[in-house]
Amino acid sequence: MSNRAEAIVDLTAIGRNVKKLKADSGKALMAVVKADAYGHGLVEVANAALTAGADWLGVALIEEAHALRNAGITAPILAWLVPPGSDHLAAITAQIDLAVPSLEILSEIIATGKHARIHLEVDTGMTRGGFLSQWPELLKADLSKVEVVGIFSHFARADEVTEQQNQDQLAKFNQAIADLAAIGINPPIKHLSNSAATLTNSQASFDLVRTGIAMYGLTPDIENLGSSKSLGLAAAMTLRAKLHLVKWVSANSPVGYGATEFTSRDTFLGVVAMGYADGIPRIAKAAGVFHNANRAPIIGRVSMDQFVVDLGPDSTAKAGDYVVIFNNGAAGEFTAEDWGTASGSINYEITTRIGPRVPRSYRRE
């Protein structure tokens, strides 16, 4: 393992989050592990979630589902980003459930001649994936050659609890369920809730909740829903890196490409051995690292492999020391939410963009 940087994933925290979300919803739970489990590690997180009581696994890509099967995981898996031309046959053979958002993909799946388990995706207002104008035609289609296991949709504004669009989407989803019932199709698994809806809208729970960001102990929206801590969630990832170099510099020294910032005082600067090639946002402002009970802000631009922080004139930091880039913030550290805000983005992007050069290690209590 590299000693330059690492992402430490607390699988016990993930298990606790899964148990809480499932108990609070009172429904079956799909652990969403797409995008390498939001950067936390696909197979390791999937196993931890299943051990904690998750009933399903959700992925975007068929390749992700195959990786889970190849790891020996036998739990139900749904893959929902399955474009035309995908190897539907291999997925069906591996007992992977497939999302169907269009007549074209339905035709390709039927053409395999294999018994496929499908989940119909209906667009209820996000105007992204799912049936919309083709829905009436789908209701006239021959669905006898597939097993319609589920129907699902996705909220666009579940983190904005009072928005009317949430109720509008819920009504449209209920109408789609009624439309299918009218032609004799009653999918046993109806699912609409993402993390935000799981936490705030019991009306939308149906048979299954899909939990992504909350399972990793991160808030779906810090402004509208509050912090991870206030939601009772435990952040699972600690990202840390070594100080490559510590140096004393004079006031008014230019730092980094473009000399975009100058030191405001005589101070110690630390060079952190991570950069935007590892997933550190180049545009991050007002973020930094934590060392010896103190925050040290970024100064200057983030480079490809490194960035500079102002450790302060009284710092005792030495080259080779680890600094925490983010974790749960319990001792005053920066959090993934802090880094998201500092980058004009969200915590989802912060964890998922951590690159493959950063090894993951796992711990359990």
Whether 119 has a pLDDT exceeding 80, the answer reads yes
How far apart CA 283 and CA 311 sit, in angstroms, is 20
Average pLDDT over residues 63-75: 98
Residue 98 contacts residue 132 (beta carbons within 8 Å): no
Average pLDDT score over residue span 40-62:
98
Question: Any idea where the domains of the chain sit in the sequence?
Answer: 11-216, 237-363
pLDDT at 2 over 70: no
In whole angstroms, what is the distance from residue 180 CA to residue 334 CA? 48
* 62: CB partners within 8 A, 6+ apart: 79, 82, 86, 87, 90, 91, 96, 98
Confidence of residue 285 (pLDDT cuts 50, 70, 90): confident
Distance, CA of 148 to CA of 144 (rounded, Å): 9
- pLDDT tops 90 at residue 356: yes
Q: Spell out the alpha helix ranges (H) of 201-276.
A: 222-225
pTM of the model: 0.96
CA angle centred on 195, ends 194 and 200, rounded to 5°: 100
Q: How many residues does the chain have?
A: 365
What CATH code is assigned to 237-363?
Answer: 2.40.37.10
CA distance 262 to 288: 16
pLDDT tens across 221-259, in order?
999 999 999 999 999 999 999 999 999 999 999 999 999
Residues 199, 203, 206, 210, Cα dihedral to 10°: -20
* CA triple 310-315-319, angle to 5 deg: 80
Burial of 29 (0-12, 13-18, 19+ CB in 10 A): buried
Residues with Cβ within 8 Å of residue 344, at least 6 apart in sequence: 283
Q: Is 64:33 a contact under the CB 8 Å cutoff?
A: yes
Who's near 329: CB < 8 A, 6+ residues apart? 229, 235, 335, 338
The whole-number pLDDT of residue 3 equals: 85
- CA atoms of 88 and 310, how far apart (whole Å): 53
Whole-angstrom distance between the N-terminal and C-terminal Cα of the chain? 21
The answer to whether the beta carbons of residues 284 and 252 sit under 8 Å apart is: no
Q: From the CB of residue 149, how many other CB atoms can be counted at a distance below 10 Å?
A: 17
Number of Cβ within a 10 Å radius of residue 63: 12
Q: How far apart are CA 222 and CA 160, in angstroms?
A: 11
pLDDT band at 1 (very low <50, low <70, confident <90, very high): very low
Q: Which residues are catalytic?
A: 34, 257
Q: Quick one: CATH architecture of 11-216?
A: Alpha-Beta Barrel (3.20)
Q: Could you tell me which residues come within 8 angstroms of residue 58 by beta carbon, excluding any fewer than 6 positions away?
A: 30, 31, 32, 33, 34, 77, 78, 80, 210, 212
pLDDT digits (tens, 9 = 90+) for 121-147: 999 999 999 999 999 999 999 999 999
